[in-house]
């Protein structure tokens, strides 16, 4: 039995497309709603999903294990509400279940930002552990963390037809709003781990972002999108350091 689990907060339109894409693949749909005020719950009910309520949390890793615990399947596919899966990926994952050779699958993500597939800029293949045998994967409570996996992992090849499609940001405003929230969380985590503000880091981290995204991962091949996203991520790194400095002052 395969379960698909989605954590959702005020993304009814995207949730509908997400659940529709999982139809015919999952034997069970589970939606954990973080106190949405839109029609997210109605959409989940429309697809016959089991709905569980959880208080709002600022990032999804805090409730990953809780959400997975609500599933009944032997295998679990984890999706965010702004993600979809296609036919070839579904068939590939069913093959994994039949062969029983691997306990988890590292799946590439096709990131759609501002309506464009970002093929470079360190956002492809952007693999994530999203399909696994239940009980073999455990997430930490850190933002954007990779889970601990017990057993052998299958790294899917970087093919568009084998990727989860991620509709990440529809506008610059949405990008900035989310990165502002993420930067506060990351700054707090780094501060708690002992990192402190320094001028070296303040200049090095943005510079490294440029070197990695725009040069090493050929962000220039994404055109203006690659340049804009690189600059935005450079600014993000600077904001994280400034927020760490702010925590020191407090």
Within 108-210, strands assigned E span 109-113, 116-117, 128-133, 137-138, 148-149, 153-155, 164-169
What's the rounded Cα separation, in Å, for the pair 94 and 120? 29
Asked whether the beta carbons of 82 and 139 are under 8 A apart, the reply is no
Q: What is the CATH number of domain 2-168?
A: 3.90.550.10
Strand partners for 5? 30, 78
What's the rounded Cα separation, in Å, for the pair 197 and 219? 28
- Break the chain into its structural domains and give their ranges: 2-168, 171-249
Nearest Cα neighbor of 1 from 21, 27, 39, 32 is 27
Asked whether the beta carbons of 111 and 120 are under 8 A apart, the reply is no
Nearest Cα neighbor of 238 from 193, 192, 180 is 180
List per-residue pLDDT tens for the chain, 250 residues long. 999 999 999 999 999 999 999 998 999 999 999 999 999 999 999 999 999 999 999 999 999 999 999 999 999 999 999 999 999 999 999 999 999 899 999 999 999 999 999 999 999 999 999 999 999 999 988 888 889 999 999 999 999 999 999 999 999 999 999 999 999 999 999 999 999 999 999 999 999 999 999 999 999 999 999 999 999 999 999 999 999 999 999 8
**How many other C-beta atoms lie within 10 A of the C-beta of residue 40?**
25
Q: Residue 57: exposed, middle, or buried by beta-carbon count in 10 A (0-12, 13-18, 19+)?
A: middle
Asked whether the beta carbons of 236 and 181 are under 8 A apart, the reply is no
The model's pTM: 0.91
What's the rounded Cα separation, in Å, for the pair 119 and 209? 17
What's the rounded Cα separation, in Å, for the pair 21 and 89? 11
| Beta carbons within 8 Å of 67's beta carbon, 6+ residues apart | 5, 6, 7, 30, 32, 52, 78
């Amino acid at each position: 039995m395969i379960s698909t689990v989605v954590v959702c907060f005020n993304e009814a339109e995207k949730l509908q497309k997400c659940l529709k894409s999982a139809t015919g693949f999952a034997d069970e749909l589970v939606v954990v709603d973080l106190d949405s005020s839109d029609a997210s719950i109605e959409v989940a009910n429309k697809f016959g999903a089991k709905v569980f309520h959880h208080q709002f949390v600022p990032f999804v890793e805090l409730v990953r294990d809780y959400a997975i615990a609500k599933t009944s399947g032997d295998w679990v596919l984890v999706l965010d509400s702004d993600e979809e899966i296609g036919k070839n990926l579904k068939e590939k994952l069913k093959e994994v279940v039949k062969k029983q050779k691997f306990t988890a699958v590292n799946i590439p993500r096709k990131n759609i930002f501002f309506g464009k597939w970002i093929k470079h800029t360190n956002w492809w293949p952007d693999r994530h552990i999203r399909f696994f045998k239940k009980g073999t994967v455990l997430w930490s409570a850190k933002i954007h963390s990779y889970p601990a996996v017990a057993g052998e992992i299958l790294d899917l090849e970087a093919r568009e037809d084998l990727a989860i499609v991620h509709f990440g940001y529809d506008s610059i405003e949405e990008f900035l709003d989310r990165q502002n929230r993420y930067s506060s969380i990351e700054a707090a985590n780094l501060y708690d781990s002992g990192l402190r503000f320094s001028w070296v880091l303040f200049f090095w981290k943005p510079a490294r972002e440029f070197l990695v995204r725009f040069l090493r991962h050929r962000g220039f091949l994404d055109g203006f999108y690659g340049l804009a996203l690189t600059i935005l991520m450079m600014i993000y790194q600077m904001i994280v350091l400034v927020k760490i400095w702010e925590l020191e002052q407090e």
